Amino acid sequence: MTRLNGKTAVITGGATGIGLAAAQRLIDEGAFVFLFGRRQDVLDAAVADLGPNARGVQGSVSDEADLDRLYAAVKAERGTLDIVFANAGVGSQLKLGEITAEHIDETFDINVKGTIFTVQKALPLMGEGGSIILTGSSAGTTGAPAFTAYSASKAAVRNLARTWAEDLKGTGIRVNVLSPGATATELAKAALGEEGQKVFASMTPLQRMADPAEIGAAAAFLASSDSSFMTASELAVDGGLAQL
């Protein structure tokens, strides 16, 4: 398919997991993609795998100066921007009674503040027909044991789309949330462990975790004109986990 021919995209957290799978799908459909991530070696490997329509920019969404460098690179090479996939996120387990201020600060700095400034700093490059995609989570709807900070941060992300759809009225820019369930990414494997992955798979009506490519396919749909009458929506790609 070539429904994204000529489009320019930014994907934060783009060098691994859902971000990398989405980058591959967007490139396969004709887009030029800038990956943004914290580890230069991982970015370099991802760009090498993705080919000539990928670029890597190192930095953290929690650092505004890094985001400024990202969008300066986009402007210098491409001029404008059509798709922003604000996908960077963190999540780790701490039970109520064990939560620390540092844990809260790290989670919200990346998942909420990072999402806000990723989008806000992109807007000067975007115009009518632009698509903003925010990575939510089934945990933002259902909660998850020992994931207080993560679940609350993803509930906040869901509300950002509702608020920004109001703020973006008249611009022709859409904003939607893509909410995966349990997905077999590096982050999930580290956070859940082998036993935790089995538990989440068993809780899902489809009885398995998602492949990152399945989430990437949904991101391509939200990026394309196939979703042209969608804004402020949440697209759950969770195997039914948060739907029953």
Q: Which residues contact 161 (CB under 8 A, 6 or more apart)?
A: 134, 175, 176, 177, 231, 232, 233, 234
Q: In what order do the strands lie in the sheet with 32-37?
A: 54-58, 32-37, 8-12, 83-86, 131-135, 174-180, 234-237
Q: Among residues 154, 169, 189, 198, which one is catalytic?
A: 154
In angstroms, the Cα distances linking 7 to 24, 53, 156, 191 are 14, 11, 29, 34
Q: How far apart are CA 107 and CA 139, in angstroms?
A: 14
DSSP class of residue 123 equals G
- Look at the block and give the residue holding tokens 């491409």: 78
Write the DSSP string, 15-41.
TSHHHHHHHHHHHHTT-EEEEEES-HH
198 is catalytic: no
Q: Among residues 71, 75, 113, 150, which one is catalytic?
A: 150
Q: How far apart are CA 23 and CA 104, in angstroms?
A: 29
150 is catalytic: yes
Which two tokens mark 91? 């999540």
State the catalytic residues. Answer: 150, 154
